[in-house]
A and B are shown apart, each in its own frame.
Chain A
């Protein structure tokens, strides 16, 4: 089992860009891009929910090495709200309709490109989504995540520097 890493993130971003997939990182993995020091086990992706984007997503996932069955391809194209992928190069949760976020276009307008290559939903949207999901693990992580957002704001930052030794 390969754990998601910066290198894997680069591979994902390159493949998704090549196939012009509309997507954002979201969830705790998204917050980690902002610098949130916390652990998680999979990458959460918020893809735009439409059949054209679903087809592009299928091509990008194939390129990354996911073994997609006909049924899974169908599900990605017709637009399920949630698809969980295991057994590929890294675990991936595809959240097409995250709680607490109205539309992909709105979330995209508030998103940030981290390190010039990783499109990430805004911290406010990540927090709103976790608050709306209201699972035990969300309730547990929310106070620390909100404290992190406040920490950034108090320092007039939108994210921690991606490479502080060179800044």
Chain B
């Protein structure tokens, strides 16, 4: 969906603000930790194909996490 003009203006102000910060600062603000149920409960997972991964997400992850 195409964003509205006001939304684009707001985003541009945020991009302008980001341009005044260093990469180091931007990364400090951008990477956060929030526990994600199921997804974070195993030390590792591997999937033969992306289709297999997506199917696993659909079957196992709560919808609100946005993985499907």
Contacts and interface: CB of A to CB of B under 8 A. Distances in A.
* A and B are interacting partners: yes
A83 interface: yes
Contacts, number: 135
Nearest to A155: B19
B6 to A, nearest CB: 12
A21 B3 CA distance: 39
Interface string A15-26: 000000000000
Interface residues on A, range: 35 or more
A63 B11 CA distance: 39
A104 interface: no
Interface residues of B, number: 46
A114 B24 CA distance: 12
A38 interface: yes
Interface of A: 1, 3-6, 9, 29, 32-33, 35-41, 43, 67, 69, 72, 75, 80-87, 91, 97-99, 114-115, 135-137, 140, 143-144, 147-148, 151, 160-165
Given A86-B43, A161-B19, A164-B22, 16 more contacts: A3-B32, A32-B26, A32-B27, A32-B30, A37-B30, A41-B33, A75-B46, A82-B53, A84-B39, A84-B46, A87-B43, A135-B66, A151-B12, A160-B15, A160-B19, A162-B22
